[in-house]
Amino acid sequence: MSAVRCVDLCKTYRQGDQDIKALDHVDLEISDGGFVCLSAPSGGGKTTLLNAIGGLDKPDTGEVWIAEQRIDQMSKGELAALRLSQIGFVFQAYNLIPVLSARENIEFVMQVQGQPTALRRDKAMAILREVGLAGLEDRRPAEMSGGQQQRVAVARAIVSRPALVLADEPTANLDSTTSDGLMALFVDLNQNHNTTFVIATHDQRVMGYAKRLIRMLDGKIVDDIDQQAA
């Protein structure tokens, strides 16, 4: 079964008086339990592809399927429900809600899902320990370093054990030790929970963890390497 399937995706942006092809006839299938890195120079289309997979952005043409459900024609409400139940997100920046503490940020998704208070608190505290932020649960984002914030965002993305995690430059603000810790966590989830990961990144070290490496250029997939085989 495929976790993600993209069929002939196209997406064009207008910037000034120039048309930019962010996605140019992209076909992609990621199977369940995949661990995929997307790498591309800036403007190469990786964030756009990630957003299209996450249902945040609609492609101009083509189809997006998540867990055998076609999502590019879903309503906003259906998309919200889908993201809530099946996808975890880690964005490049502005990842956290400023008025909520670390723990509350992590609980946010669970709370919207309607999980009971005690349960989500336990889960949040556990995941905070896992990402090495025990003791910082009551800090607001402004009181944490960039790396700590990013770890809270990751914790939030994985706390409900979603089937699919989409991460956009998750290690951009982290030092190498923390990055390794984070990736170990991802690998662990991938192996033990069969969570599918799609990570857009520039970071060579991150690419090293990937089972499959996809390179994009000008909205096209130019390279698709199965690293397990290698």
Q: Which positions lie near another protein, rule CB under 8 A?
A: 47, 51, 54, 56-57, 76-77, 80-85, 87, 89, 91, 94-100, 104, 108-109, 111-115, 156
Which tokens sit at 20? 């930019």
Residues recorded for the chain: 230
- Least separation in angstroms between CB 104 and another protein: 8
Q: How far apart are CA 208 and CA 155, in angstroms?
A: 21
- Least separation in angstroms between CB 79 and another protein: 8
Nearer to another protein, 79 or 206 (CB): 79
Q: How far apart are CA 51 and CA 144, in angstroms?
A: 27
Q: How many CB atoms lie within 10 A of CB 229?
A: 7
- Least separation in angstroms between CB 158 and another protein: 13
Nearer to another protein, 112 or 126 (CB): 112
Nearer to another protein, 81 or 222 (CB): 81
Amino acid at 148: Q
Nearer to another protein, 50 or 189 (CB): 50
Nearer to another protein, 120 or 211 (CB): 120
Q: How far apart are the first and last CA of the chain?
A: 23
- Least separation in angstroms between CB 140 and another protein: 9
The residues with which 132 forms a beta bridge, in sequence order, are: none
**Taking Cα atoms as reference points, which of 64, 161, 57 lies closest to residue 109?**
161
- Least separation in angstroms between CB 51 and another protein: 5
- Least separation in angstroms between CB 170 and another protein: 15
For the CA atoms of 4, 228, 47, 133, the dihedral, rounded to the nearest 10 degrees, stands at 100
83 touches 75 (CB < 8 A): no
Nearer to another protein, 49 or 210 (CB): 49
Q: How far apart are CA 57 and CA 16, in angstroms?
A: 20
